[in-house]
Structure 1
Amino acid sequence: MSGIVPVILCGGSGTRLWPRSRAAKPKPFLPLVGESTLFEATLLRCADSAQFAPPLVVAGAAHLAHVESQAPTARVIVEPEAKNTAAAIALAALRLPGDAVMLVCPSDHHIADCEAFARAAAAAADLAREGWLVAFGIAAKSPETGFGYIKRGEALDGGYRVERFVEKPDLATAESFLAEGGYSWNGGLFAFRADTYLEELETHRPALAQAVREAVEKGREDDARFHPDAAAFARIEGESVDYAVMEETSRAAMVPADMGWSDIGNWPALRDARGADADGNVVHGPAELVDCRNVMVESDGPRVSVIGLDDVVIVVDGGEVLVTTAAGAQKVGKLSGAVNQ
């Protein structure tokens, strides 16, 4: 049995972790949790050759240098422009054998329990070989409003049918999901056969599927890089895999995954992923905290002194300074500095 093919998606500008993460070097390529970058950690989770085949990376030209410096032997599909995840995954599917099981992994997530990840990947791959399109249902620990949810349906061998996908809910709805049970976070990890994915994409988004197919047919190889045709790819109307396929197909399944997952989607999420002291504080760089609770300080040089604050994030990086409440961190991406850098 051939190994599972990790398809690593490298995209986005990382503005929600500004000023540490910037468009020129966004969060996948930074060592935010531990010594490895998030991209390197993603590859390391899939490094067991007994379970996984060599990875296939999908990245934009702007990130190619980072990809190749951190994964010099990886095969890379270079997207002509960003067209969201449905097209990126289709590019990979068309470069693989039809019966290949693809494990779609964002490059900028943190997973604390790699053994649990490997178990979930194996269960998802088994379902994928049976023709299911499988989402990872992340164990919901709190009523998050920034994530989509998956409601599980009838049991399958190793997982469940998906009863429905739910878009980001308001707080009351999220609380009701946790109280009711049977709901998981949608973590953006998927497994399916390449040919199954393409069949569903062609059924539900035929124009998108055709444009990607033409982009691949007219593309060119450059050593380990593959460059799809830019003109064909430009015709694509970008859409996420969730909207284009997973919410449309009748073959959606899920595997439960309790693996210490975080999308590192903002500064408080990074604070939580790193682990705090007894007062909930997290410090990277020179800093002194007095009478503080749940304060995060990240400084690349200047000493930061904080007294008597709760739930505050302070970041000093490359001459830029960010100070925000934990709640306000959701709006960091709206700052002009984050958008323009």
Structure 2
Amino acid sequence: MTEATITPVILTGGSGTRLWPVSRGARPKQFLRLLGKTTMLEDTLARATGDAFGAPLLVGGAAQEDILQLLAGSDAAIILEPEGRNTAPAIALAALVLEPDTPMLVMPSDHAIADPDAFRDAVIKATALAMQGWLVTFGIAPDGPETGYGYIEQGEALDAGGYRAARFIEKPDRATAEQLLAAGGHHWNGGIFLFTAGAYLDALERHAPDILAGARAAFDAGHRDGTVHRPDAAAFARIPAISIDYAVMEKAEKVAVVPVSMGWSDVGSWDALHAISARDADGNALDGDVLAIDTRNSLVRSTGPTVTTIGVEDLIVVATEDAILVMPRGDSQRVKEAVETLKAKTDGKSRL
């Protein structure tokens, strides 16, 4: 067990379009019960509890204030971004709240982890490195040549079970992904990080000073209501919108990767949800008012009308009170086409 108390920093922003029509802009997937009786945000909070962890700090959109306060609990602090500016500014705001030597575990709020014990073990390893000044990212053990994720190549071995991060690799094509897996020592970049607040702010000062200056200006000009901090909107809007990977992790000198196999999924599509959901003897993941007859290897969900399927296989069928989605399994990345078309037709004012 680490002696340092880790602050879970949970990023709760996101547009929520990849799991349309259930997930919407006003209520994206992190606020939905997709894998059980609790929301994905509640699952994220639950896996960062115990003696090693302190009270959580949530960073989300101002429009999410009510649901964040409802789900986060009374001990959580909340930072409400006036608008989304990607992950580097969001994490900077969180770091400004904390003492410089506080280890901060930065997590998206909409990922699934089947083995939370393995995750917590990796966090303890990463914390030991973070207390030595490393910026740590978690390398997800790949289970196939996935082209939808970036990769991290591990370099020299470090203490506590980590490695120096040799390079970050953009989302590869299929052939490149197969080569990376065959070579070994490559991990998916799951977007989970651990470092001290001071180390992150120092890295920003060196590699992205405009982000640090903008975040500090927005933070200092903002105001606090109890446990909720509201950065100044005008100052925050001037911060460059950039991810932590581009702003810091790909540039900093002291970056480590801790490999972990923990049953991770970013639940980035209906196909991904089918893959990690409980399925019946016919391979179906069913939820809601659904009747599946002679149906195989399909995902069928309804929060609205009764959905009946007969004599089909390899389908995704999702129904809500105001929309129905039907498509073959394997095509769920095309949901964005439907969302973009609906936005154009309705000026984004309905069903999104």
Query: Which TM-score band (shorter chain)?
Result: over 0.9
Q: Which runs of 5+ in 1 are unaligned?
A: none
RMSD between superposed Cα atoms in Å: 1.3
Would you say 1:55 and 2:75 are equivalent positions?
no
- Whole-angstrom distance in 2 between the partners of 1:58 and 1:137: 23
Q: How far 1:309 moved relative to its partner? A: 2.8
Would you say 1:17 and 2:19 are equivalent positions?
yes
SS in 2 for 1:200: helix
Tell me if structure 2 keeps the 8 A contact 1:61–1:78.
yes
Matched to 2:12, the amino acid is C
TM-score by length of 1: 0.96
Cross-structure match for 2:77 = 75
TM-score by length of 2: 0.94
Cross-structure match for 1:133 = 135
Matched to 2:48, the amino acid is C
5 Å-filtered alignment, 1:25-44, equals 25-44=27-46
Tell me if structure 2 keeps the 8 A contact 1:22–1:338.
no
Tell me if structure 2 keeps the 8 A contact 1:149–1:184.
yes
Q: Which runs of 5+ in 2 are unaligned?
A: none
Which of structure 1's runs of 4+ aligned residues deviate more than 4 A? none
Cross-structure match for 1:272 = 275
SS in 2 for 1:16: coil
- Whole-angstrom distance in 1 between the partners of 2:292 and 2:175: 35
- Whole-angstrom distance in 1 between the partners of 2:329 and 2:64: 29
The Cα offsets for residues 96-133 of structure 1, whole Å up to 9 and x where unpaired, read as: 00000010010011111111111011111111111111
Would you say 1:285 and 2:288 are equivalent positions?
yes
- Whole-angstrom distance in 1 between the partners of 2:314 and 2:203: 45
Give the alignment partner of residue 258 of structure 1, picking from 261, 268, 287: 261
Matched to 1:52, the amino acid is F
Which deviates the most, 85-94 or 250-259?
Answer: 250-259
Aligned residues: 340
Give the alignment partner of residue 299 of structure 1, picking from 284, 298, 302: 302
Q: How far 1:270 moved relative to its partner? A: 0.9
The Cα offsets for residues 110-169 of structure 1, whole Å up to 9 and x where unpaired, read as: 111111111011111111111111000011011111111111111111211111111111
- Whole-angstrom distance in 2 between the partners of 1:304 and 1:317: 10
Cross-structure match for 2:192 = 189
5 Å-filtered alignment, 1:86-235, equals 86-157=88-159, 158-235=161-238
Q: How far 1:276 moved relative to its partner? A: 1.9
Tell me if structure 1 keeps the 8 A contact 2:106–2:192.
yes
Q: How far 1:338 moved relative to its partner? A: 6.4
Tell me if structure 2 keeps the 8 A contact 1:287–1:297.
yes
Cross-structure match for 1:240 = 243
- Whole-angstrom distance in 1 between the partners of 2:190 and 2:222: 31
Tell me if structure 1 keeps the 8 A contact 2:305–2:321.
no
SS in 2 for 1:335: helix
Tell me if structure 2 keeps the 8 A contact 1:15–1:338.
no
- Whole-angstrom distance in 2 between the partners of 1:155 and 1:278: 44
The change in CA–CA distance for 1:37 and 1:201 in structure 2 (over 3 A counts) is same
Tell me if structure 2 keeps the 8 A contact 1:18–1:338.
no
Matched to 1:61, the amino acid is A
Cross-structure match for 1:84 = 86
- Whole-angstrom distance in 2 between the partners of 1:56 and 1:193: 14
- Whole-angstrom distance in 1 between the partners of 2:41 and 2:8: 12
Q: How far 1:274 moved relative to its partner? A: 1.2
Tell me if structure 2 keeps the 8 A contact 1:332–1:338.
no
Would you say 1:318 and 2:321 are equivalent positions?
yes
Matched to 1:62, the amino acid is A
